[in-house]
Chains A and B, each alone.
Chain A
């Protein structure tokens, strides 16, 4: 069976996650230690800042799961109380679904983020390198990656930005097309402005100018982006030259007035200008938005877009859940087959071999029979064998549907001496 033990940002506070993350990282040959646990056949260890999880193929499920739980509790230094509230345990279908949801980023703090898929892939790579996985987990992980890919391409879960700074970047792309070579002006030195600028630069924007009341601070930020620092008095002139303005000063009045924007638009021959005002109180006069070819977005506008996108992601998540269900069901049916089918096949072939051998032995006296009678005898023998095998095969199939066929399968192999 498959089991999953772990904790995540929903069940455990940061302090606990930190402890466990560090505890597991310090441990040398962690996977080796886990695999040595009695009943653990295959193991995968996933550790990110938001979750620590162990996924395993198990032989003696309840006991092995308890062992894994206490393993995590030990390395995270968890108290009994913490272990009870923070750790979760899933089995079989639940475990499969959970892993697929995690890999598809449905269980992430920011739903739809792309990082988790890479992290699961890294964890799998490590497990592969240490020979910790086998047939069951290999296929499970490949199916998880497939589900994640499907969720990404078939739903819009990762389509739209859900942070203010990314929303600004998306808008800039919708205004200018490509951001390559675009010039950016940062007014003030807010963290959010810096973050937005980083994203814009990541998308190709190049020329950064920083304007600040304090020249020293302007220089400091400009150096970060290999840009130029200018004084507040030069704002008029700089405005004529740039494409994107990000403003976040603590000024009590407008730093950029509507008249300034109107004037500069004439000078810049109406080239498109994107103004992002993330300051409260606002830095840019709303009248600037009335000017043709100027697009002014303040923090509320951006937040509204983000809220709308989050709502969309939630809607898309419903579609994603359906994909997860489908992929999990596919894997489960494969797994069930894996448990019972080889035994059923070898049972049938053993019976056929016996029939063939006995028929050969009987062929001497059967020669005296008429053809029709001989066929009747053969049909009778096959009929008896099938009837005898029907019940054990049916029971194995039924039990495998409930993930409980392991014991029955083992018994059948022993009773019919299939492993000899």
Chain B
């Protein structure tokens, strides 16, 4: 890692931490203005992270230089990018209070990782692996977004159902906007994850032959994929909306995160990125 890369990463991490604090404070003191400022700070962090990744790409010397740090940074970058992109369309600044901590978590995890680890063994490196990684990350990032919107929707729904919208209810985005973001996350996250998984499966079929499903991460990812597929089906075909979808998205994401961490630390897997 070059020193420029290090400085850019540290600056991005700082911006993100500041934005997270700002968002949480805006919830606490109930001022949207603070969330607006935090969105700008997060945008600055996103730009710095983009530069950081660009510098890393310029210094790319092959897959051996791709480490967990990059993997997690890309994760954070995609989530931040999608969230900021949404901010151009909807007025849901407060959603940042639920998204920014995720981004910060990924960046902190990235900071704790060495960048020089050879994450992807040389025999698997190639275009299909890149495609598999990028699509899977983008798909999962969209699920994070869907769940964050879902969590916020549950709070707002609870306030409105109890007839006590109060200052917090006025601060949080509307149910309609949050449900739309949940819908957007599922609608785009699922096909991206599907394509990513197909990419991985096709590649694995070539390299590993028939033994690939034995990897616990693959099995669990498949289960998560089926769950999200079910959610999307219920949403599009049956018309599940609002709080029910929000609860299920949050459940889906917590299963996914728990399994990812559990598998990483307890079981042997080839997907040992985080």
Contact = CB atoms under 8 A, between A and B. Distances in A.
Nearest to A174: B174
A304 B174 contact: no
A297 interface: yes
B229 interface: no
Interface string A42-62: 000000000000000000000
A177 interface: yes
Interface in A146-172: 159-160, 170-171
Interface in B135-177: 156, 160-161, 163, 165-166, 169-170, 173-177
B160 A272 contact: no
Interface stretch (A17-25, A80-88, A287-295): A287-295
B241 A270 contact: yes
Contacts of A175: 160, 174-176
B163 A304 contact: yes
Contacts of A260: none
B242 A177 contact: no
Interface in A277-331: 289, 292-293, 295, 297, 301, 304-305, 308
A154 to B, nearest CB: 11
A177 B177 contact: yes
Contact of B243 (A160, A269, A292, A305): A292
B239 interface: yes
Contact of B175 (A178, A272, A305): A272
B169 A174 contact: yes
21 contacts: A159-B170, A174-B170, A175-B160, A177-B90, A177-B177, A177-B180, A269-B239, A270-B239, A270-B241, A270-B242, A271-B239, A272-B175, A272-B241, A272-B242, A292-B242, A292-B244, A295-B160, A297-B163, A301-B163, A304-B163, A308-B166
Given A174-B165, A176-B174, A293 B241 contact: yes
Given A272-B175, A305-B165, A308-B166, A174 B241 contact: no
Given A170-B165, A170-B170, A293-B241, 5 more contacts: A175-B175, A272-B241, A292-B242, A292-B243, A293-B243
A173 interface: yes
A301 B244 CA distance: 25
A272 B241 CA distance: 8
Interface of B: 90, 156, 160-161, 163, 165-166, 169-170, 173-177, 179-180, 238-244
Nearest to B175: A175
B163 A177 contact: no
Q: On chain A, which size bracket covers the interface?
A: 20 to 34
Interface in A196-242: none
The B contact surface, by secondary structure, is helix
B174 A173 contact: yes
Contacts of A171: 160, 165
A289 B175 contact: no
A176 B178 CA distance: 10
A244 to B, nearest CB: 12
Given A177-B173, A308-B166, A271 B241 contact: yes
Contacts of A159: 170
A289 B157 CA distance: 12
Contacts of B163: 297, 301, 304-305
A218 to B, nearest CB: 29
B161 A289 contact: yes
Contacts of B238: 269
**9 A-B pairs with least C-beta separation:** A269-B239, A177-B174, A177-B176, A177-B177, A270-B241, A176-B176, A301-B163, A293-B242, A270-B239
A81 B244 CA distance: 68
A103 B127 CA distance: 68
B241 A295 contact: no
A176 B241 contact: no
B161 A295 contact: yes
A170 B239 CA distance: 26
Nearest to A301: B163
Contact of A176 (B156, B175, B240, B244): B175
